[in-house]
Amino acid sequence: MTREPSRSGPPAARGNGPKPENRKPKPVLAVPKLPGHVILNDLRIRLAGIPFFGIVIPNLAGLFGPIGPRSALYWLGYAWFVLLSGLIWQGNRYFLIQQRRYYDWFDHAWRKVTLLLFANVFYTAPLTALMLAAWYRFAGFAAVDWSVIRLVTLMNVVCVVFITHVYETVYLIQQRESDLVAVARLDRARAEAELLALKSQVSPHFLFNSLNALAHLILSDPQRALRFTEGLADTYRYILTNGERDLVPLADELAFAEGYVGLLQLRFGDAVRMVVEGQDGIDSLLVPPISIQVALENAVKHNVFDRESPLLVRVRVSAERVSVSNPLRPKAAPGSPRLGLANLDERCRRVTGQGIEVRLGGSEFEVVMPALHTSA
């Protein structure tokens, strides 16, 4: 079915639509920083682990001796041992956090291990020995049992090594996940920046070609130049309104293409025509903005045509594709590189995940673009 091009621009560009001069530019996703270290959120573990070791280890080592639950020393002893457990846990945790600021497992693995063991042994062991010796004096034991102190010291050192290993394992897992998320955000930010750069090329390119056409009409036919200027204003309003969007309804894009063909007919007369075929389901399809116009412009720019041999551009709509085809009549002089199609291909890849397909079938040139359903 043939659709008569509108002489006054696409319907989407008329009426009480949003004024482009009042629109704020779409913000670009900020580039995130890669994390230097993962925050250590272990409050619940400490609240459970510190009392646990402060209660279990003294009972396993027999630090209470003959003191039983009926004695106040028994409960004071638990408080003392929980305090010791807390000092050991918090102190080694502090050393662990501090060394993370300067060393990592990838470049300084041996240095990390050496520092952690050094901090563990030379902090945990003296602290344990001093506080247990003080306990023996305070509780009134006849003598300090150094064999028990050595056993408890060894148990504390082993426990600290085990807990440090758990801390570092969880830390590496969290850091890996955090790095993956940060890298994904960086990739997304870079893709959005590149897509924005591609979009920014469309508007100046269209304006440059339109002004060249307008300059030609001003010299040859001022009245048509005036109508061309009015149509150009409506058409350019559509570009400003939708140029920053990733996808637009296909119906709006076809209306915009009709307005663009109307501009071409003001310059070339009936030497340029457009036919739309297969409009079933057209209201449920989305395409990148200014996509059909790019294919139209490419056809006009690279082919020979006149009123006796007009350039008939066919737009075919299918379930997941929109194709724009034209007779292949290349100009004698070599044309410029098809930068518009290259730009369109990259925009389609970034928005839909698929690029355009260019087909050369003997006497026909066809550009096939992907389309998405509104429910996708």
What residues contact 194, with CB distance under 8 A and at least 6 apart?
Answer: 346, 350
In SS3 terms, 147-205 reads as HHHHHHHHHHHHHHHHHHHHHHHHHHHHHHHHHHHHHHHHHHHHHHHHHHHHHHHHHHH
- 284 DSSP 8-state letter: G
Instruction: Tell me: do 67 and 174 sit in the same domain.
Output: yes
Q: Answer whether residue 157 is part of any domain.
A: yes
Per-residue model confidence (pLDDT) at position 12: 41
Per-residue model confidence (pLDDT) at position 166: 85
Q: Answer whether residue 213 is part of any domain.
A: no
Instruction: Tell me: do 228 and 106 sit in the same domain.
Output: no
Distance separating alpha carbons of residues 146 and 136, to the nearest angstrom = 10
Q: Where is the domain boundary, 159, 184, 209? A: 184
Decide if 256 contacts 290 (C-beta within 8 A). yes
Per-residue model confidence (pLDDT) at position 16: 40
Q: How far is C-alpha 322 from the geometric centre of its chain's CA atoms? A: 28
Q: Where is the domain boundary, 139, 169, 184? A: 184
Instruction: Tell me: do 225 and 368 sit in the same domain.
Output: yes
Domain that holds residue 326: 221-373
Per-residue model confidence (pLDDT) at position 209: 67
Q: Answer whether residue 195 is part of any domain.
A: no
Instruction: Tell me: do 313 and 247 sit in the same domain.
Output: yes
Helix (H) or strand (E) holding 373: strand 372-373
Per-residue model confidence (pLDDT) at position 195: 54
Instruction: Tell me: do 105 and 225 sit in the same domain.
Output: no
Per-residue model confidence (pLDDT) at position 105: 65
Instruction: Tell me: do 314 and 264 sit in the same domain.
Output: yes
Q: Answer whether residue 140 is part of any domain.
A: yes
Q: Answer whether residue 336 is part of any domain.
A: yes
Instruction: Tell me: do 363 and 298 sit in the same domain.
Output: yes
CATH of the domain at 358: 3.30.565.10
Instruction: Tell me: do 368 and 251 sit in the same domain.
Output: yes
Cα dihedral sign, 276-280-283-286? negative
Q: Where is the domain boundary, 165, 184, 203? A: 184
User: pLDDT averaged over consecutive 10-residue blocks of the chain (376 residues)?
Assistant: 43 40 39 46 88 92 90 93 93 85 71 81 92 91 91 92 85 79 68 53 62 77 82 78 83 90 84 87 86 89 90 91 92 67 85 89 90 78
Sheet holding 272-277, edge to edge: 272-277, 311-317, 321-327, 364-370, 357-361
Ramachandran area for residue 297 (φ above 0: left; ψ -120 to 50: alpha; else beta): alpha
Model-level pTM greater than 0.75?
no
Q: Answer whether residue 153 is part of any domain.
A: yes
Work out how many domains the chain is built from and give that number.
2
Instruction: Tell me: do 262 and 356 sit in the same domain.
Output: yes
Q: Answer whether residue 3 is part of any domain.
A: no
Specify the 3-state DSSP secondary structure of 360: strand
Instruction: Tell me: do 312 and 249 sit in the same domain.
Output: yes
Per-residue model confidence (pLDDT) at position 129: 93
Instruction: Tell me: do 173 and 272 sit in the same domain.
Output: no
Per-residue model confidence (pLDDT) at position 204: 63
Instruction: Tell me: do 161 and 291 sit in the same domain.
Output: no
Q: Answer whether residue 201 is part of any domain.
A: no
